[in-house]
Amino acid sequence: MNRGLWVVQWLLALLFLFAGIMKFVMPVAEMTKQIAFPGWFFHFIGAAEIAGAIGLVLPGLLRIRQGLTPLAAACLLVIMIGATVITVTTQGAAMAVLPFVVFLLVAFVAYGRWRLAPPR
pLDDT in tens, 52-71: 999 999 999 999 999 999 99
The angle formed by the CA atoms of residues 66, 119 and 2, to the nearest 5 degrees, is 120
Task: Give the number of domains in the chain.
Answer: 1
Reported as a pLDDT band with limits 50, 70 and 90, residue 116 is confident
- Residue-number span of the structural domain to which 18 is assigned: 2-116
Question: Do the Cβ atoms of 119 and 9 come closer than 8 Å?
Answer: no
Q: pTM (2 decimals)?
A: 0.93
**Which of 78, 76, 101, 97 minimizes the C-alpha distance to 88?**
97
Residue 63 sits at φ, ψ, to 5 deg, of 55, 40
Reported as a pLDDT band with limits 50, 70 and 90, residue 3 is very high
